Amino acid sequence: MSAREIGADAAEALARTVAGIGGPVGVTLDHRAMPIGSGEWVTYRYGLAPAGLATMRQLSAMGLRPGGHQPVAALARPRGRWVAYLYDVSTAKAKRPMTRAKRRALAAANRAQRICPTCERDAGYRIPSRLGECVDCHFGPADDITNENTNVIERFGKVA
């Protein structure tokens, strides 16, 4: 059975299983697949990556996308606080343009996330998923907080 018969994703999963690679895979300088945690994975210190490699954000700023290619290296901040994967700019493809249908679908999704399920009003912002409702419904109207602050000022006097 060839890779064409089972599909590219299934072939990659099979290759990972055979190689004993369960997690994310990187490509070494000689184009071999290696687990990212292995010593052969190339990691550059912050600010020292060679020209021709870019992070996802940098690719996006250039109007490019990885185009299905795996990262070729990583970029590490001091003390290992985070790692950004680096992609080869020469293999990157142009971003797909935003169509009218995609733009309409995105606007509808954002509009749906602005409607509070409790009071059914447009909050004017995307409702945080951790709250599940607008801030006024979750914490109470802002007018109540103002009245509480006024009562505290009347009781204790204004702080300079």
pLDDT digits (tens, 9 = 90+) for 3-59: 445 555 555 555 555 555 555 555 555 555 555 555 556 777 777 888 888 999 999
Residue given tokens 């300088």 in the structure block: 29
Residue 92 has pLDDT above 90, yes or no: yes
Residue 151 has pLDDT above 80, yes or no: no
Of 119-128, 130-139, 141-150, which range is least confident?
141-150
Residues 79 and 118 in one domain: no
Residues 71 and 7 in one domain: yes
* pLDDT value at residue 91: 92
Q: What is the bridge-based pairing of β-strands 53-54 and 64-65?
A: unpaired
Residues 119 and 68 in one domain: no
Q: Which residue blocks in the chain are alpha helix, DSSP H?
A: 3-6, 8-19, 56-61, 100-114, 135-139, 142-156
Residues 9 and 88 in one domain: yes
Domain count, the chain: 2
3-state secondary structure of 34: strand
Q: Is 56 exposed, middle or buried (0-12, 13-18, 19+ CB in 10 A)?
A: middle
Please state, rounded to an integer, the average pLDDT across all residues of the chain: 75
